[in-house]
Amino acid sequence: MKIMLVDDKLKRRQEIGKILKDNGYRVVFATNGQTALSLLKWHWVNMVLTDTNMPSMTGSELAAKIALMRKRQPIVIGMSNREENRQLYQHFWNKNEPIEKLLELIVKLTSKSP
């Protein structure tokens, strides 16, 4: 399964990306929403994990644009350390929770392991 990780913070991309790779997922990285949209035009991913607070395009704005792009859309999980951002997404992971919660959510949403 291929996951796009969108976050403007390099350290966070590296940390989460390593854990995803260690759990058998293929990971594509994007530093912002615009880059993510450009990559999605040419690369299919099963899931997009997006930070909420990024410059120029928020994660929820990215999720809305992804919804308009294709008939068959990747699953989008919003990420934030602010619980009130949960309402912006259908699927959400609070970054204050253990990373295992994110991995459980990925498995639950895809109904299978990598």
> How would DSSP label each residue in 36-86?
HHHHHHH---SEEEEES--SSS-HHHHHHHHHHH-SSPPEEEEEES-GGGG
Across the range 68-88, mean pLDDT stands at: 87
pLDDT in tens, 1-51: 999 999 999 999 999 999 999 999 999 999 999 999 999 988 889 999 999
pLDDT category at 111 given cuts 50, 70, 90 is: confident
CATH of the domain at 76: 3.40.50.2300
Q: pTM of the entire structure?
A: 0.91
Domain that residue 103 falls in: 2-110
Domain count of the chain? Answer: 1
Across the range 93-111, mean pLDDT stands at: 93
